[in-house]
Amino acid sequence: MAFLLLLTGAVIPRVGAELNFTSINNDGVEAQYAAEAGVKYAAAQILNNTSNTDWSWARGNQELTFADGETYKITIYPIDSSGKAGSSPIEDGIALTSGSKYLIQSVGKVNNYSKTVKVIAYINTGSDSSPAIYAGNTANIGNSLKVINGDVLAANIKISTLPTLDDDKNIYYYNKPTVGTDIPVWMIGNQWYDGPLKNKLKPWSGNEYVFTPDATTITSLPAFSAATNISSYTQNYSSGISLPSPQYTSDNGFTTYTLSANTKYYLSSGMPSPIYNGTLKFSKPDNGYVVISIYGDYYSNSSGNGTIINFSGTGNLVFNVIGKMEARAFTINAPNADNIVINVTGNLSTSGSGLTVNGPAGGNVTFNVGGNLLVNQIIKVTGVSSGNINFVVDGNLAVTSSGLNITRPATGDINILVNGKITDTAAGIKILGNGTGTVNILTGSTFESSGAGINIDSSTGIVNVYSNGNLTASNSGMHITGSSVKIVSNGDISLSGNNSLLGTNTLLYTKGEGNDITTSGSLSISGSIIAADGNINLGSATTITINDDSGGGSSGSGSSTGTIEFSNWSS
């Protein structure tokens, strides 16, 4: 018994000490976990509150408590450009930005035991919108690039001249940058430098960026057919009656045909010639539709005032040419009509003083061309207020002189739909005047302009330009303004001359694999330049303005999740 009492007395203190050591060890482990949880809490606060400027909890004087009683205190220290952490914690009023580094210190405490964890945090806040420039391959930056409120992101960066970016915006890369010898950066290969781009060129630490156009962006050619449209108007076209006897007025040289309402007219041998080579005039004063169908090729009269159709009443005016048509001096005045439809199964070309359509104010104007639309002299459409203006062309659209000149409806849409290619060597396509409707210029092949290109001057309404092949604009380039401007190509995009693409949300986007965007001359764009899987070559004086203060504009969306990259853990 005495021996057992002595043995028990010797063991009990040791057991108590072991139990005490175990408790201390458990407290230490829990304190470590609490400290690490504090770091994770800080990371979550940074990523979820990138615009937050209240850092009272991150200055080491606020004790945060878990439900089980563990506590932690967090202190965040900014790291300067030299890589050193400051001695003072982060101050209120500072919004964290992508590319910044901070030292996060977290002190976990359980009972009387504490544990301190320190870590360097590299911040990439991510973005749900497009960068100012994104190249899936290489972004070649030359001459003068100025980016206002937007980042640059590319797999590879090559810089020949110094770009200008906002203070809080950067040039990100997946691989590594290459620059001209006159622009040193902090690292090329294994060599260290100090220069003006030191704090602007940064490796991308977020998820790989994937550009996804929004639902309003046209990225493929919709199905349309002028031939199908024409067939719905020309069925039984030969069942019409002959024109009435003409009237001739010697004072002005008009040869006038007065048309009856709700009547189809069929001309089997072409349009009659005016008497004494004057002006050929058609009038319909009453309400009701009129259909005029010409079998064979039609060359409108070019003498006097040419051919004039005055359609003063209401109803539809349908003009069919079963063949090709050359409008030498052809005018339609129909301010009160319901709709005007011109159908040509072959080519529609212009010469002389061209083709003019005035009105209808509240209806639609539609051209269905089964062949090519050849604008050798002006085609002018004006006087449409609330209706749509449509050009549907199964062949090519070529502008070689005065151009396609459209006065924009106040509320209606404009659709120029071409299954072939669009070429412009002269005055281009002008859509002038304010309007809230949508403008769609879509081609199933290429868009090639060495003339005036596309000119749209309204600050309202959506503008979509889509080319299923290469899109090139030189000489005067393209000048497009709208509430939202989307220029999309399934081929290369090449802009030279003077170009401006301005709107609240503007997108210059080539979507095909290996397709590039190249600029020279000058380019002003209020939005993003995206080459999804190609190069961007900015050899021009390019100014990019992102209107959205988030740094990306809403011309598309990207999957770039915000992340924090930790390094230099210490406990």
Q: How far apart are CA 429 and CA 431, in angstroms?
A: 7
The predicted structure's pLDDT at residue 456: 95
In this structure, how many other beta carbons lie within 10 angstroms of the beta carbon of residue 47? 17
Q: Which of 127, 204, 211 is nearest to 512 (CA)?
A: 211
Distances (CA, A) of 134 to 152, 172, 480, 518, 553: 6, 10, 22, 13, 13
Low-confidence stretches of the chain (pLDDT beneath 50):
17, 19, 21-23, 50, 126-128, 188-192, 548-561
pLDDT in tens, 302-333: 877 899 999 999 999 999 999 999 999 999 99
Q: How far apart are CA 351 and CA 307, in angstroms?
A: 13
The predicted structure's pLDDT at residue 358: 97
Q: Which of 377, 357, 382, 378 is nearest to 367 (CA)?
A: 357
Residue ranges of domains in the chain? 2-126+565-570, 133-205
Q: Which residue do the tokens 């391959």 mark?
A: 137
**Cβ proximity of 58 and 76 under 8 Å:** yes
Q: Which two tokens stand for residue 37?
A: 């949880």
Residue 216: partners with Cβ closer than 8 Å, 6 or more residues away: 462, 464, 484, 486
Q: Which of 273, 279, 272 is nearest to 249 (CA)?
A: 279
In this structure, how many other beta carbons lie within 10 angstroms of the beta carbon of residue 500? 18
The predicted structure's pLDDT at residue 71: 86
In this structure, how many other beta carbons lie within 10 angstroms of the beta carbon of residue 54? 10
Residue 528: partners with Cβ closer than 8 Å, 6 or more residues away: 130, 131, 132, 133, 134, 150, 506, 507, 508, 509, 544, 546, 552, 553, 555, 556
What pTM did the predictor assign? Answer: 0.76
The predicted structure's pLDDT at residue 118: 87
Taking only Cα atoms into account, the Rg of the chain, rounded to an integer number of angstroms, comes to 36
How does DSSP classify residue 452? S
Q: How far apart are CA 213 and CA 490, in angstroms?
A: 14
